[in-house]
Amino acid sequence: MDLSHCYMEQTAPYVLAGLFTSPHLAEIRWVTSLRLDGNYFANAGLSYLLSVMSTANEVKPIFPSLEQLYLNNMNLDATSVSGILFFLFPVDPVASKRFHSHKPPVSNEFVPQGKEGPQGELFPSLSILSLNDNPGLGQDGFEAVLTHLLSSHYKVHNLGSLDLSRCGIPAHCTKQLKQFLKDLKHTIDAGVYPIVPQRLVLLGNTLDTVKEKPPVSQVEIVM
């Protein structure tokens, strides 16, 4: 399903929420790829879309076959990417306390204070998540992504590819990347359920090349 570059702006998420959760659109269950590139959704609309989809998803998966999600060039920032990941890969608060793992910061725009987060993944078959060409992510967004990947989730999800190319990630974030790779191995060994990207694409950022072999053998870094 390609909805990229359709000049959709702030009101579009409210329409899409009704479309994606409509009981009259059964064919959506067979959609394997969704592109929303080049559309600029404000955080309020994006939060509404994800929340409505998540509520419907708790009853019955609405995109059970979706394997590829493209959110490129959507003017996303650290706040929006944290909210997106929170709904895509729900964090288990009980396991987070048990293993003392960090819970990713999520804005009240996406999760009102006191409200519990989702338990079911929006796209349980997701293999490719592309967030490239969102320079507003920067250091804060990159750190939010890494923190979320390392968090305790309800189940293991091996993500085939996570693309953060041209997202304004500065050179000094190489330190955080190296630490993430080390922490990921410790997290897996501890029995926590992190999100493991088999391929992490970071082209077009100013990060220094990571020369060391990643301690988690299944993670390929593309820079």
Query: What is the mean pLDDT of the segment spanning 18-23?
Result: 92
Degrees, nearest 5: CA angle 194-199-200 = 80
Mean pLDDT, the chain, whole residue set:
86
In this predicted model, what pLDDT tens digit does every residue of 28-63 receive, in sequence order?
999 999 999 999 988 888 999 999 999 999 898 999
Q: Report helix, strand or coil for 111.
A: coil
CB atoms within 10 A of CB 175: 11
Task: Tell me which residue of 13, 12, 148 sits closest to 82, measured CA to CA.
Answer: 148
Is residue 92 pLDDT above 90, yes or no? Answer: no
CA distances from 3 to 12, 34, 45, 141, 217 (A): 11, 8, 16, 24, 36
Task: Tell me which residue of 188, 200, 111, 114 sits closest to 151, measured CA to CA.
Answer: 188
Separation of CA 190 from chain center: 23
- pLDDT category, 156, cuts 50, 70, 90? confident
Task: Tell me which residue of 143, 134, 142, 154 sits closest to 195, measured CA to CA.
Answer: 154
Task: Tell me which residue of 28, 120, 140, 121 sits closest to 76, measured CA to CA.
Answer: 140
In this predicted model, what pLDDT tens digit does every residue of 159-213 receive, in sequence order?
999 999 999 999 999 999 999 988 888 888 877 888 999 999 999 998 876 655 5
- Give the pTM: 0.90
pLDDT of residue 173: 93
Q: Which CATH number fits domain 30-39+63-222: 3.80.10, 2.70.98, 3.40.50, 1.10.8?
A: 3.80.10
**Phi, psi (rounded to 5 degrees) for 168:** 70, 30
CB atoms within 10 A of CB 17: 19
pLDDT of residue 85: 93
Task: Tell me which residue of 135, 146, 125 sits closest to 67, measured CA to CA.
Answer: 125
Delimit the domains of the chain by residue range: 30-39+63-222
pLDDT of residue 18: 92
Contact 129, 148 (CB under 8 A): no
Contact 204, 170 (CB under 8 A): no
